[in-house]
Chain A
Amino acid sequence: MATYGPKPAPPNADKRWKLVDATMRKAGGHSRSLIETLHTVQEAFGYLDEEALRYVALSLHVPMSRAYGVATFYHFFTLKPGGRHTCVICMGTACYIKGAQQLIDAVHRTLNISPGETTEDGEVSLLTARCLGSCGLAPAVVYDQEVAGKVEPDSLKQHLAKWTQHDS
């Protein structure tokens, strides 16, 4: 591995890079730890930007194209920062059968955002999930990491209102 040159320095003095470095070190700086490392970056920073991708690619000696390829292949990774609050609507079959589309329409009507978008003020992001595995409680929604079951458009709107009112 000597031909690759030394490991680059983190892009800036942010302490969170130490977490990223620790993940890579634990895997012996091997390229196979690319996905784990990106998980750590996203956990620490919330999203993957070009700077982070470049740093990880250089450190693990993989081409930038592969880092970008992996980051865009997997739905879990996001390349743009999310809002202060996130609302994840489960679109699994059970939730779909029980009206998840109405929930998405409700968010669209109230906040004018579609899945994958964030409100202009950066307050709320709307995401969809393939399946949360909470099918017994369909339709399910995750409000900021907290799973809620048997959600109806009205209770969803109330929850959104709480977020938007509290913060203004």
Chain B
Amino acid sequence: MTLEELEEIGRRERAAQEGFQQHVNVCVAAGCLSCQSDAVKDALSNEVASRDGGKRCQVKGVGCMGLCAEGPLVSTSDGQLYQHVAPSDAAEIVESLDAKPVARLHCPTDVPFFERQKKIVLENSGEIDPERIEEYIARDGYLALTRALTEMKPQQVIAEITTSGLRGRGGAGYPTGLKWSTVAKATGTQKFVLCNADEGDPGAFMDRSVLESDPHRVLEGMLIAAYAVGASEGYIYVRAEYPLAIKRLKIAIRQAERLGLLGSNICGTEFSLRIDLRLGAGAFVCGEETALIASIEGKRGTPRPRPPYPAMEGLFGEPTLINNVETYASVPPILRNGGMWYAQIGTEKSKGTKVFALAGRVRNTGLVEVPMGITLREMVFDMGGGIPEGKRFKAVQTGGPSGGCLPAETLDMPVEYESLAKVGSIMGSGGMIVMDESSCMVDVAKYFMEFCMTESCGKCAPCRVGTYQMHRILSAITNMTATENDLKTLEELCDLVKHTSLCGLGQSSPNPVLSTLRYFLAEYKAHVREHRCPAGVCAMKVQETVTA
């Protein structure tokens, strides 16, 4: 595959698209699919075929359009977005293309939810058919790879990434350029690139959406990374709970191999890369890089102490680069437009954009990509549309079980790695769960602690025993049987587990407790002193509720 051949494929595909006067795109990502969007797509295809044999109007399935709560979503070439579309609406929609839009299904797009977004990672989501490589190429896909391979040295690629200021999107925010150059400098008989698609944080679905909506972007990012660090083998470690993402990744790998964009001597150069999938099996700790490596090696996913870091000794003891899905997905546009372009977006220390999954007690739930530095208030109230049912905002939880619950006072803070850490939470992978007054913060802390307790791999004692004891105390508080002393013990345990656990799971497991103690201490005290739950969630119970 040469640059000319690639451009030719893109040209042909664009011409084919332009051959249709009208386009109807149906979201077929997991959210809308579970509202039967496939039936909607079939109905629209049949409708179009029955009218003019499908020559004038093209119906296709595309990736996530973002506003999952209003699905199934359909967009048309006359600029309309339709929500809650049923198969029976097909005729009306197709007819409307030559007449007036269907007001009944209209979904406004001139609202902050769409207007405040800046789509880089999600630029193709909702626009292309994720199961056709040609459509990705038609939108400049694999252009960055071809250029990198033919016109750039690996060091130049790394320099470009370093200039961009891109930081790991998996949660910790380690500078990507620095990570790449460490692996590039490491020596070994073979090097590996791994993609961490084990999106375990409950409440986060950005990576799933990227894989389902634009899988080639992740492959291209991995290819560029492999070229930059000198790797010849790659693995994508993806959750078994995401069957659709797995299916589309498999299709994407096959298509890329067929076009010679993956495999041996890519683009006629010396560079070769093989990419394989490895399925997770439901262990949250496998999102930790050393545990992920153990799991790919076919072992129990338990972390090990670092150093040595995977960059030196990773998979099968060889230098290994591990990045998250969103990080890889950010790479092709950076190389296409230059590191400087990317560095202009965002804040001083947090560059670029970040995809967030807005969920919980907020009107517009779904996926948004925003420039770093936007405030939590803009996200929750402007984009999210605020709290439904006239309830009051209480907290927003970021970073999953490793993050914290942030109260109203922090809403005007910009969203970036450092500021979130300062108030006791983390950026995390991008889950953002809004809670209103009907949630009890002690109960929420207990929920996350139960999560960490069951997900603790059991290797180190502070995490294994500490999470159990913290959960026991939190249960006692929610059962109204705890004492003031228990509160003190809880704080001590938080400190102990945070500083002595082996891996990130243990070290961050006290965060939900610490942040709720910091901002919602009154709620804890109401449970302990007055034996009442201000939110009315916890009741004095003798018997345990049925738990997972």
Interfacial residues, chain A to chain B (CB-CB below 8 A): 30-36, 38-39, 66, 69-70, 73-77, 91-98, 101, 104-105, 108, 114-115, 128-138, 140, 146-149
Assess whether B105 is interfacial by the CB under 8 Å rule: no
Q: Which of B28-36, B117-125, B501-509 contacts A (4 or more CB under 8 A)?
A: B28-36
Chain B residue numbers with a CB within 8 Å of A147 are 30, 33-34
Contact, CB under 8 Å: A35 / B447: no
Alpha-carbon distance A34/B242, docked complex (angstroms): 20
For the complex formed, measure the closest distance between the CB of B379 and the CB atoms of chain A, giving whole angstroms: 15
Contacting residue for B546 out of A39, A98, A105, A138, CB 8 A: A105
For the complex formed, measure the closest distance between the CB of B231 and the CB atoms of chain A, giving whole angstroms: 18
For the complex formed, measure the closest distance between the CB of B100 and the CB atoms of chain A, giving whole angstroms: 29
Contact, CB under 8 Å: B283 / A93: no
Contact, CB under 8 Å: A115 / B548: yes
Contact, CB under 8 Å: A94 / B433: yes
Knowing A35-B279, A93-B360, say if A132 contacts B241 (CB, 8 Å): yes
Q: Which of B69, B199, B435, B457 has the most CB of A within 10 A?
A: B69
Assess whether B539 is interfacial by the CB under 8 Å rule: no
For the complex formed, measure the closest distance between the CB of A31 and the CB atoms of chain B, giving whole angstroms: 6
Contact, CB under 8 Å: A134 / B31: yes
The residue on A at minimum CB distance from B438 is A97
Contact, CB under 8 Å: B298 / A35: yes
Contacting residue for B433 out of A93, A148, A149, CB 8 A: A93
Contact, CB under 8 Å: B204 / A131: yes
* Cβ contacts B194-222/A at 8 Å (1 or 0 each): 00000111111100100000000000000
Interface SS, B side: loop
* Cβ contacts B1-44/A at 8 Å (1 or 0 each): 00000000000000000000000000000110111000000000
Contact, CB under 8 Å: B203 / A35: no
Contact, CB under 8 Å: B35 / A133: no
Chain A residue numbers with a CB within 8 Å of B548 are 91, 104, 115, 128
Q: How many Cβ-Cβ contacts under 8 Å join chain A to chain B?
A: 155
Contact, CB under 8 Å: B279 / A39: yes
Interfacial residues, chain B to chain A (CB-CB below 8 A): 30-31, 33-35, 67-69, 71, 199-205, 208, 240-242, 278-284, 295-301, 357, 359-361, 365-367, 397, 400, 431, 433, 435, 439, 444, 447-448, 451, 455, 457, 545-548
Alpha-carbon distance A147/B457, docked complex (angstroms): 29
Contact, CB under 8 Å: A74 / B365: no
Alpha-carbon distance A75/B300, docked complex (angstroms): 11
Contacting residue for B203 out of A93, A101, A137, CB 8 A: A93
Knowing A93-B360, A136-B68, A147-B34, say if A115 contacts B240 (CB, 8 Å): no
Contacting residue for A91 out of B67, B202, B282, CB 8 A: B202
Alpha-carbon distance A96/B203, docked complex (angstroms): 10
Nearest 4 CB-CB pairs, A to B? A136-B68, A74-B281, A92-B202, A147-B34
Contacting residue for A105 out of B242, B281, B545, CB 8 A: B545
Contact, CB under 8 Å: B279 / A73: no
User: Can you sample 17 A-B contacts with CB below 8 Å?
Assistant: A33-B298, A35-B279, A69-B300, A74-B283, A75-B283, A91-B202, A94-B359, A97-B360, A97-B433, A105-B546, A115-B547, A130-B200, A130-B282, A131-B204, A134-B31, A134-B34, A136-B359
Contact, CB under 8 Å: B202 / A35: no
Alpha-carbon distance A59/B455, docked complex (angstroms): 30
The residue on A at minimum CB distance from B68 is A136
Contacting residue for A73 out of B31, B35, B283, B296, CB 8 A: B283
Q: Which of A36, A95, A135, A147 has the most CB of B within 10 A?
A: A135
Chain A residue numbers with a CB within 8 Å of B400 are 93
Contacting residue for B34 out of A36, A38, A108, A149, CB 8 A: A149
Knowing A97-B435, A101-B545, say if A136 contacts B69 (CB, 8 Å): yes
Alpha-carbon distance A91/B203, docked complex (angstroms): 10
Contact, CB under 8 Å: A76 / B281: yes
The residue on B at minimum CB distance from A130 is B202
Knowing A39-B240, A93-B360, say if A133 contacts B447 (CB, 8 Å): no
For the complex formed, measure the closest distance between the CB of B115 and the CB atoms of chain A, giving whole angstroms: 19
The residue on B at minimum CB distance from A126 is B546
Chain A residue numbers with a CB within 8 Å of B240 are 39, 76
Chain B residue numbers with a CB within 8 Å of A148 are 34
Knowing A39-B240, A91-B548, A108-B546, say if A137 contacts B200 (CB, 8 Å): no
Contact, CB under 8 Å: B297 / A32: yes
Q: Which of B30, B241, B284, B448 has the most CB of A within 10 A?
A: B241
The residue on A at minimum CB distance from B206 is A133
Contact, CB under 8 Å: A129 / B360: no
The residue on B at minimum CB distance from A136 is B68
Contact, CB under 8 Å: B205 / A70: no
Chain B residue numbers with a CB within 8 Å of A114 are 546
Chain B residue numbers with a CB within 8 Å of A33 are 298
Q: Which of A74, A97, A108, A146 has the most CB of B within 10 A?
A: A97
Contact, CB under 8 Å: A35 / B365: no
Alpha-carbon distance A38/B439, docked complex (angstroms): 40
Contact, CB under 8 Å: A94 / B282: no
Alpha-carbon distance A77/B301, docked complex (angstroms): 14
Knowing A39-B281, A97-B361, say if A66 contacts B299 (CB, 8 Å): yes
For the complex formed, measure the closest distance between the CB of B195 and the CB atoms of chain A, giving whole angstroms: 17
Contact, CB under 8 Å: A35 / B360: no
Contacting residue for A104 out of B282, B435, B546, CB 8 A: B546
Alpha-carbon distance A134/B203, docked complex (angstroms): 8
For the complex formed, measure the closest distance between the CB of B301 and the CB atoms of chain A, giving whole angstroms: 7
Alpha-carbon distance A69/B68, docked complex (angstroms): 38
For the complex formed, measure the closest distance between the CB of A113 and the CB atoms of chain B, giving whole angstroms: 9
Knowing A93-B397, A147-B30, say if A138 contacts B359 (CB, 8 Å): yes
For the complex formed, measure the closest distance between the CB of B538 and the CB atoms of chain A, giving whole angstroms: 12
Chain A residue numbers with a CB within 8 Å of B283 are 73-75
The residue on B at minimum CB distance from A135 is B359
The residue on B at minimum CB distance from A115 is B548
Contacting residue for A133 out of B242, B439, B545, CB 8 A: B242
For the complex formed, measure the closest distance between the CB of B406 and the CB atoms of chain A, giving whole angstroms: 14
